[in-house]
């Protein structure tokens, strides 16, 4: 790895910080001492410098202490059917926690043919003997020890970082099947630690796979079976500080390992937010957002990750990549940030990011609209986009997703509330004549100055009315967004009862939205039937983000696999066919999930031969010995 003059870089950094120190926020005292404005310093045990922002971390080094090793989310949170056969959600972390969900059992039975009598078994505890012993590069380990950077080759630590959350990854773990896993895990505490790790990896020919939040759904974290070198998982979770906040320019300089919910919490304590809220924000990391070109549900106001990033620092085998200033825009050839964003761990490790921040919005209001059918809902979203008046978030569910959302409604304790719900249903279906088998719902979220929010709300509802939309209340809108963070737990419940499923997404021009929704859903149903699936599958979609020239569409499909000898193979065939259908209908390979290894077979036709050559040339120059050897993208 090419070496940098760290003394010069530190001197320059201090000079620049001293110039802007007049408008950098001085953080509150830590442990009774005033924090100081300074360049990023390592926070290893030997450091006595106070931290600008940190503490109360969501993710410990041993993630398995709080999170499932073979499923989604926290150990104490899950859907289950209690002794009375009622669905409930355990734990205390979510608004749905501790509540009974009376409609879920009937929905699962009627949708999938699943029954409580047909239950699968899962491996509750990892059998360490099923994990291959680590193949360690002893010279690398010896030099790593001298740096004081923490590392582990414990089986549980290694297995946890060997996978993301693709269906096939979790399905295998539930059956106790463990494939190739990293040989060791290393936890850098700061940028300088990463520089040392990459230098040692280059020196000793060790393969590095960066690991952020572990929420990948593209097989990006899987260890290549053909890799013969020692594989080291570089876990960035301990790089989780906000290094400074610049109140005049409204930017924050943040370590890339910070988890989304921690970033927002720490910024909120200082009166700010990023507004970047992907569905995975509870567990995904800032570095992961950059590496996959992430998108959040409130991008209409705050932008996607490429709109929020001002400056990126990344460590590569050739050295550190970063721009010389933090200006909002530069005309200096192709933007190097766009080589970094979307690189999916193939070029290096993102260590620090400067992001735009905004004051926490004064006012937030949820809403929902019922449309007579999906076509009218899409037309409304198109008009909202055309008039450029989209709220922070607007998401349109098709009829199947509407029914699904209704099945997740918790038990109401008030007779009056139940009566009102019945009255609303009567008004919409009987008085207004909406067909329950065709109607669909859009959920809305408005943020900003109270007066402007109310004006904005009126504008959007007036547009909706022109397309037959009826206001359906704040509660439905708020519940829709609340379910965002618990819906991922449902896949684990499904697998308990022979139901497997997945979600995938695309972006598509407006004139293709209806066709792609119709054709992909129909293709999934047809493929399931041809592949011998004995029960009708769930095949559904929603429009989640809107743009001037198109929209993001999310598809969900699931089926009961009882009677199939190799359900995973059938699932993979159906998903492959669905992706082919998306591309044939003018959709993109991915809107925000990324490519990984799961979708890279389509990269050449997606970006052309020349485009692939350009990416490969960058890879060959930046990482000629394939130190970052996860084999994503290319």
Could you identify the residue written with the tokens 């031969």? 609
CB 344 within 8 A of CB 232: no
Q: With contact defined as beta carbons under 8 Å apart, do 594 and 218 qualify?
A: yes
Buried-state track 557-584, b at ≥16 Cβ within 10 A, e below 16:
bbbbbbebeebeebbbebbebbbebbee
Query: Among 554, 556, 561, 571, which one carries the catalytic annotation?
Result: 554
Two structure tokens written together for 310: 């001002």
Q: Does 481 qualify as catalytic in the annotation?
A: no
Backbone angles phi, psi at 51, to 5 degrees: -85, 150
Structure tokens at 356: 């735009």
Q: Residue 461 in 3-state DSSP?
A: helix
Contact 314/198 with Cβ under 8 angstroms?
A: no
How far apart (Å, rounded) are the C-alpha atoms in residues 178 and 158? Answer: 11
CA–CA dist 521, 558 (Å, integer): 11
- Buried/exposed 494-505: b ≥16 CB within 10 Å, e otherwise: bbbbbbbbbbbb
DSSP for 142-205, written as a single string = HHHHHHT--EE--HHHHHHTS--S-HHHHHHHHTT------SEEE---SHHHHHHHHHHHHHHT
| Radius of gyration, CA atoms only, the chain | 25
> So which residues are the catalytic ones?
554
């Amino acid at each position: 790895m090419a070496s940098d003059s760290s003394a010069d870089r530190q001197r320059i950094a201090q000079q620049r910080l001293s110039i802007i120190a007049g408008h950098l926020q001085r953080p509150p005292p830590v442990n009774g001492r005033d924090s100081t404005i300074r360049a990023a310093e390592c926070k290893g045990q030997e450091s006595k410098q106070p931290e600008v922002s940190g503490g109360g971390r969501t993710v410990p080094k041993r993630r398995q202490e709080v999170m499932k090793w073979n499923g989604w989310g926290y150990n104490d949170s899950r859907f289950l059917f209690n002794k009375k056969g009622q669905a409930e959600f355990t734990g205390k972390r979510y608004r749905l926690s501790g509540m009974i969900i009376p409609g879920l059992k009937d929905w699962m039975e009627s949708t999938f043919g699943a029954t409580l009598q047909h239950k699968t078994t899962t491996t509750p505890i990892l059998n360490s003997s099923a994990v291959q012993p680590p193949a360690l590069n002893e010279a690398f380990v010896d030099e790593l020890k001298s740096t004081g950077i923490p590392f582990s080759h414990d089986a549980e630590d290694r297995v946890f970082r060997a996978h993301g959350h693709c269906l096939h990854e979790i399905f295998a773990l539930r059956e106790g099947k463990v494939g190739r896993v990293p040989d060791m895990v290393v936890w850098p505490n700061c940028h300088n630690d990463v520089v040392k790790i990459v230098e040692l990896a280059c020196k000793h020919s060790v393969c590095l796979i960066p690991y952020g939040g572990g929420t990948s759904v593209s097989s990006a974290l899987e260890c290549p079976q053909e890799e013969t070198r020692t594989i080291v998982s570089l876990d960035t979770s301990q790089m989780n500080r906000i290094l400074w906040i610049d109140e005049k320019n409204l930017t924050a300089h943040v370590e890339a390992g910070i988890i989304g919910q921690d970033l927002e919490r720490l910024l909120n304590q200082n009166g700010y937010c990023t507004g970047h809220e992907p569905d995975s924000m509870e567990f995904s990391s800032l570095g992961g957002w950059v590496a996959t070109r992430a998108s959040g549900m409130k991008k209409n106001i705050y932008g996607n990750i490429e709109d929020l990033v001002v400056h990126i620092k990344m460590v590569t085998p050739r050295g550190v990549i970063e721009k010389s200033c933090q200006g909002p825009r530069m005309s200096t050839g192709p933007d190097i940030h766009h080589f970094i964003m979307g690189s999916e761990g193939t070029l290096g490790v993102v260590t620090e990011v400067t992001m735009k921040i905004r004051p926490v919005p004064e006012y937030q209001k949820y809403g929902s609209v019922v449309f007579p059918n999906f076509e009218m809902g899409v037309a409304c979203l198109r008009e909202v986009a055309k008039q450029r008046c989209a709220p922070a978030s607007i998401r349109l569910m098709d009829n199947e997703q509407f029914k699904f959302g209704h099945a997740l409604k918790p038990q109401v304790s008030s007779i009056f509330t139940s009566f009102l719900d019945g009255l609303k249903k009567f008004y919409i279906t009987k008085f207004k004549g909406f067909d329950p088998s065709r109607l669909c719902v859009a959920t809305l979220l408005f943020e900003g100055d109270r007066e402007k929010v109310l004006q904005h709300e009126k504008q959007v509802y007036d547009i909706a009315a022109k397309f037959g939309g009826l206001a359906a209340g704040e509660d439905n809108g708020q519940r829709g967004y609340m379910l965002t963070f618990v819906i991922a737990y449902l896949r684990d419940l499904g697998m308990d009862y022979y139901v497997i499923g997945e979600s995938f997404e695309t972006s598509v021009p407006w004139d293709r939205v209806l066709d792609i929704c119709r054709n992909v859903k129909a293709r999934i149903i047809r493929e399931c039937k041809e592949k011998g699936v004995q029960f009708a599958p769930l095949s559904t979609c929603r429009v989640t983000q809107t743009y001037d020239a198109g929209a993001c569409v999310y598809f969900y499909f699931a089926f009961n696999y009882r009677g199939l000898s190799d359900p995973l193979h059938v699932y993979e065939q159906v998903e492959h066919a669905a992706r082919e259908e998306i591309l044939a209908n003018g959709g993109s390979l991915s809107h925000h999930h990324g490519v990984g290894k799961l979708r890279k077979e389509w990269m050449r036709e997606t970006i052309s031969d020349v485009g692939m050559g350009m990416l490969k040339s960058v890879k060959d120059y930046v990482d000629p010995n394939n130190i970052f050897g996860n084999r994503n993208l290319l």
